């Protein structure tokens, strides 16, 4: 519920477990007064102290009152250059060369439903859901710059979304150099800052740091959200754990350069800011023109990290992912990449599919190498015509052969890229990002297409349509295998080159939106050299994303754990691959590989023809089992029962149905020790009043959660899975 209280000039957003409040003060500055556990009512500005603080300047309206300073007051969206010296929300170059933005309240309105953002991904309200939206208009009187703050509140998930729309109502152009989507001020509190770091093959490793005075920053300037940092951050009580303590999670619904900063100020207040990274960002707003900053989603929980994750998981699954696949069971797929790399032909693909179909696998995905001269990664990107030497007759006949096995057919694409050794590049060398008179910077021998240009987007769309119409294709894996460099567009004037990073992302979104609209049943899996673009922006178009090229099951425990802080299991592309693993050279039992992969969008990534009969039977059992548990994994609540980054003897997790009548527990043993200690596994999320059957025995939900289940002695990397059902 969103309410305005006239006497106190406060606007309050209430969700089931949280309260968020702002106040229009006497000078029109929009103060942020509270975000935290639900409070019934009141003006929370009463807890904001005002003292004369040396070197904290006072706006002219303060007159002789030296206690009123933007430097010390919590702000809803921070101005710049007028006395708030903390992280600004907005910065610009005005036509007179000044950089000042001084925002004051103009008006606000509340509507039922959820606002939407033109050209950008955003959370949406489902049918009959009680969403409300708030719009608050602020204005910088001198430049005429208007800032509309948009809020969406969904009480059931304790979700508050935010976005910002700017419009130049002045008579001269304004150049935006920084536009944050989120600004959040906290009073004196000892908070930790939690981020997701990592690298290629080690995506989303949680980092937790106590905030000390100064600015703590994470972000990406790679053009994608990146393997190295992720656009999800959390602030939490210093004592917060997986299961208890106040936590504030924030995710940016964006797939390009981002910045997230947490600042602990001189008075030990905290400011969190999140938005497009100001790196190389400059957006020219002509008089009358508008700019929309991407959405940020916030959730609050008093139930620790797990509480934040489960709220975000539900919101992402139900109010961000779209299309039939957000609810329907996704096909269990097999992908040929790790089995063949570029070296395959139609018969090889069919031979993998044949064996896979016999054990119940439902879709064959043909990865990189099916088009142009693509026999290695030096050439071919950009030429989306079928390589007829490998696939005589094109995709149609192959898809038919796969279809005849009772399987669906899926395909890899990498539409954003071009190799210099391609027909496309030879015809249009200026279509790739490249700064004039500078040498090219290559990544995986490829260049990035300038998707800010309409004719290039058109080329990509025409090729995608031709491919999708040429055969019965149920799925595409949308890959992106390098970071952006040399970002310069041949058709933009010099003073607008600062728009290109963002226009590139808008271009990707436009293509994905068109494909989503024209092929509503097509399942899209996002990918970026593994998990380099795993973010809420992509999930709006692609309900699953390849989590990492690292398919070692033991490493995946960590990657999937870190990913699960924000993203639901249904979104994590997760496959059983061959051993020894290609990246780590580790051998993990097939059963364990299955148990770990079943905690996500399940599939296979190997040549099943190389397995023994007994192993194939095991694969058949895994496939059957996943069919029975997919709804728990995809639609249930997720509980982490440990931390794979700690040197714990085993790692476990569980999925619990919304009505708590079913659960699935996965346990994987870590490094083995002689004469091992017997462990008990304390479960979570069950109904303490109900009885459950585990392995044919009846236990109380309370017993399973508080006393725990005795685990068998397991060998190194061995796994066990428990299907749990209420009586
Ligand atoms: C990177 C992906 O993560 C892999 O799964 C595979 O599709 C390769 N690209 C193909 O080039």
CATH number at residue 26: 2.70.98.60
Number of Cβ within 10 Å of residue 723's Cβ equals 15
**Counting every residue, how long is the chain?**
727
Confidence of residue 141 (pLDDT cuts 50, 70, 90): confident
Catalytic residue among 549, 552, 607, 637: 549
Mean pLDDT, rounded, of the chain: 97
Identify the residue whose tokens are 């010296």: 85
Confidence of residue 659 (pLDDT cuts 50, 70, 90): very high
Query: Domain check: are 62 and 116 in the same one?
Result: yes
Residue-wise DSSP of 586-614: ----HHHHHHHHTTSEEEEES-GGGS-HH
Per residue in 165-202, pLDDT (tens digit) is 999 999 999 999 999 999 999 987 899 999 999 999 99
Q: Which of 331, 333, 473, 343 is nearest to 413 (CA)?
A: 473
Is residue 647 scored above 80 in pLDDT?
A: no
Examine residue 326 and state whether it is found in any structural domain, yes or no: no
Query: Domain check: are 106 and 147 in the same one?
Result: yes
Examine residue 13 and state whether it is found in any structural domain, yes or no: yes
* Pair of tokens at residue 205: 């490793």
The CA distance from 664 to 657, in Å, is 9
Q: Give catalytic status of residue 549 as yes or no.
A: yes
Query: Domain check: are 30 and 138 in the same one?
Result: yes
- Give Cβ neighbours of residue 102 (< 8 Å, ≥ 6 apart): 59, 79, 81, 82, 140, 141, 142
Q: Which of 258, 293, 319 represents a domain boundary (last residue)?
A: 319
* Atom in ligand 1 nearest the alpha carbon of residue 377: 11
The CA distance from 113 to 153, in Å, is 9
Is residue 441 scored above 80 in pLDDT?
A: yes
> Helices 395-404 and 346-358: crossing angle, nearest 10°?
20
- Give Cβ neighbours of residue 373 (< 8 Å, ≥ 6 apart): 379, 380, 383, 387, 421, 422
Per residue in 219-257, pLDDT (tens digit) is 999 999 999 999 999 999 999 999 999 999 999 999 999
Examine residue 324 and state whether it is found in any structural domain, yes or no: no
Q: Which of 79, 286, 282 is nearest to 174 (CA)?
A: 286
Q: What is the pLDDT of residue 642?
A: 94
Residue-wise DSSP of 150-210: EEEEEGGGTEEEEEEEEEE-SSS-EEEEEEEEEEEEE-S--EEEEEEE--TTS--EEEEEE
Number of Cβ within 10 Å of residue 177's Cβ equals 16
Question: 256, 223 in Cβ contact below 8 A?
Answer: yes
Confidence of residue 649 (pLDDT cuts 50, 70, 90): confident
Mean pLDDT score, 380-388: 97
Query: Domain check: are 657 and 613 in the same one?
Result: no
How many structural domains comprise the chain? Answer: 3
Q: Is the pTM of the predicted complex or chain greater than 0.95? A: yes
Query: Domain check: are 299 and 393 in the same one?
Result: no
The CA distance from 190 to 9, in Å, is 29
Confidence of residue 653 (pLDDT cuts 50, 70, 90): very high
* Pair of tokens at residue 639: 């509980």
Ordered strands of the 18-24 beta sheet: 2-5, 10-14, 18-24, 30-37
Catalytic residue among 367, 479, 552, 637: 479
704 DSSP 8-state letter = I
Q: Which of 285, 319, 353 represents a domain boundary (last residue)?
A: 319
Examine residue 108 and state whether it is found in any structural domain, yes or no: yes
- State what percent of residues in the chain have pLDDT above 70: 100
Q: Give catalytic status of residue 715 as yes or no.
A: no
From ligand 1's centre to the CA of 368, what distance in Å? 7
The CA distance from 270 to 253, in Å, is 23
Query: Domain check: are 589 and 657 in the same one?
Result: no
Residue of minimum CA distance from atom 1 in ligand 1: 529
Examine residue 644 and state whether it is found in any structural domain, yes or no: no
From ligand 1's centre to the CA of 530, what distance in Å? 7
Give the CATH number of the domain where residue 679 resides. Answer: 2.60.40.1180
Mean pLDDT score, 322-331: 94
Number of Cβ within 10 Å of residue 674's Cβ equals 4
Q: Which of 349, 332, 343, 352 is nearest to 397 (CA)?
A: 349
Q: What is the pLDDT of residue 188?
A: 79
Residue of minimum CA distance from atom 9 in ligand 1: 529
Query: Domain check: are 274 and 337 in the same one?
Result: no
Query: Domain check: are 337 and 434 in the same one?
Result: yes
Is residue 513 scored above 90 in pLDDT?
A: yes
Query: Domain check: are 108 and 188 in the same one?
Result: yes
Query: Domain check: are 495 and 457 in the same one?
Result: yes
Examine residue 643 and state whether it is found in any structural domain, yes or no: no
From ligand 1's centre to the CA of 344, what distance in Å? 15
Query: Domain check: are 508 and 359 in the same one?
Result: yes
Q: Which of 578, 600, 633 represents a domain boundary (last residue)?
A: 633
Number of Cβ within 10 Å of residue 180's Cβ equals 27
Give the CATH number of the domain where residue 550 resides. Answer: 3.20.20.70
Q: Ligand 1: list residues with CB < 6 Å.
A: 337, 367-368, 412, 479, 481, 527, 529-530, 546, 549
Examine residue 301 and state whether it is found in any structural domain, yes or no: yes
Range of the domain at 588: 333-633
Query: Domain check: are 283 and 185 in the same one?
Result: yes
Examine residue 645 and state whether it is found in any structural domain, yes or no: no
Q: Cα–Cα–Cα angle for 615, 330, 392, nearest 5°?
A: 75
């Amino acid at each position: 519920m969103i309410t305005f209280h006239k006497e106190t000039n406060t606007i309050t957003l209430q969700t089931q477990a949280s309260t968020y409040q702002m106040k229009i003060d006497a000078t029109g500055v929009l103060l942020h007064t509270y975000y935290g556990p639900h409070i019934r009512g009141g003006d929370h500005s009463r807890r904001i102290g005002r003292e004369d603080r040396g070197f904290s300047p006072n706006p002219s309206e303060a007159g002789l009152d030296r206690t009123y300073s933007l430097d010390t007051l919590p702000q809803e969206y921070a101005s710049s250059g007028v006395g708030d010296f903390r992280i600004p929300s907005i910065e610009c170059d005005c036509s007179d060369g000044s950089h000042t933005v001084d925002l004051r309240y103009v008006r606000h309105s509340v509507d039922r439903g959820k606002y939407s953002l033109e050209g950008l991904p955003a959370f949406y309200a489902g049918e009959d859901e009680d969403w409300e939206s708030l719009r608050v208009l602020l204005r910088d009187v001198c430049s005429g710059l208007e800032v509309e703050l948009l809020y969406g509140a969904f009480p059931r998930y304790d979700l508050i979304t935010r976005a910002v729309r700017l419009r130049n109502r002045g008579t001269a152009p304004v150049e935006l150099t920084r536009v944050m989507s989120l600004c959040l001020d906290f009073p004196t509190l000892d908070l930790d800052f939690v981020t997701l770091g990592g690298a290629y093959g080690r995506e989303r490793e949680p980092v937790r740091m106590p905030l000390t005075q100064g600015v703590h920053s994470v972000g990406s300037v790679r053009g994608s959200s990146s393997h190295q940092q992720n656009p999800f951050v959390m602030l939490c009580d210093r004592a917060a754990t997986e299961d208890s303590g106040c936590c504030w999670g924030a995710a940016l619904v964006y797939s390009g350069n981002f910045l997230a900063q947490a600042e602990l100020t001189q008075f030990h207040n905290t400011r969190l800011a999140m938005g497009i990274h100001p790196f190389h960002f400059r957006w020219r707003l002509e008089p009358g023109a508008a700019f929309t900053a991407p959405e940020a989603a916030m959730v609050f929980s008093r139930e620790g990290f797990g509480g934040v994750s489960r709220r975000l998981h539900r919101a992402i699954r139900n109010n961000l992912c779209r299309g039939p696949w957000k609810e329907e069971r996704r096909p269990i797929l097999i992908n040929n990449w790790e089995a063949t790399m570029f070296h395959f032909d139609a018969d090889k693909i069919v031979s993998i599919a044949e064996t896979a179909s016999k054990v119940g696998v439902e879709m064959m995905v043909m990865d990189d190498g099916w088009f142009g001269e693509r026999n290695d990664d030096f050439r071919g990107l950009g030429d989306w015509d079928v390589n007829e030497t490998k696939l005589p007759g094109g995709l149609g006949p192959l898809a038919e052969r796969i279809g005849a096995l009772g399987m669906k057919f899926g395909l890899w694409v990498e539409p954003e890229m071009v190799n210099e050794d391609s027909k496309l590049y030879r015809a249009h060398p200026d279509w790739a990002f490249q700064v004039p008179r500078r040498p090219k910077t290559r990544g995986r021998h490829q260049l990035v297409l300038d998707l800010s240009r309409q004719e290039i987007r058109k080329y990509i769309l025409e090729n995608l349509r031709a491919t999708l119409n040429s055969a019965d294709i149920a799925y595409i894996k949308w890959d992106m295998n390098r970071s952006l460099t040399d970002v310069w567009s041949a058709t933009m004037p010099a003073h607008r080159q600062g728009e290109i990073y963002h226009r590139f992302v808008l271009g990707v979104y436009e293509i994905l939106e068109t494909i989503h609209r024209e092929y509503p049943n097509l399942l899209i899996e996002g990918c970026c050299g593994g998990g380099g673009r795993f973010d809420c922006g992509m999930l709006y178009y692609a309900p699953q994303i390849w989590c990492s090229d690292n398919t070692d099951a033991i490493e995946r425990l960590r990657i999937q754990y870190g990913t699960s802080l924000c993203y639901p299991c249904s979104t994590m592309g997760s496959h059983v691959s061959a051993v020894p693993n290609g990246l780590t050279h580790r051998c993990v039992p097939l059963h364990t590989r299955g148990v770990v992969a079943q905690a996500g969008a399940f599939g296979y990534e190997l040549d099943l023809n190389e397995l023994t009969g007994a192993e194939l039977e095991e694969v058949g059992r895994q496939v059957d089992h996943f069919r029975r548990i997919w709804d728990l994994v995809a639609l249930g609540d997720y509980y982490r029962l440990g931390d794979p980054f700690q040197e714990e003897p085993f790692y476990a997790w569980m999925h619990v149905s919304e009505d708590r009548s079913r659960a699935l527990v996965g346990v994987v043993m870590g490094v083995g020790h002689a004469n091992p200690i017997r462990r008990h596994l304390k479960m979570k999320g069950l109904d303490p009043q109900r009885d459950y059957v585990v392995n044919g025995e009846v236990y109380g939900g309370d017993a399973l959660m508080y006393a725990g289940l005795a685990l068998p002695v397991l060998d190194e990397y061995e796994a066990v899975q428990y299907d749990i059902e209420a009586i």
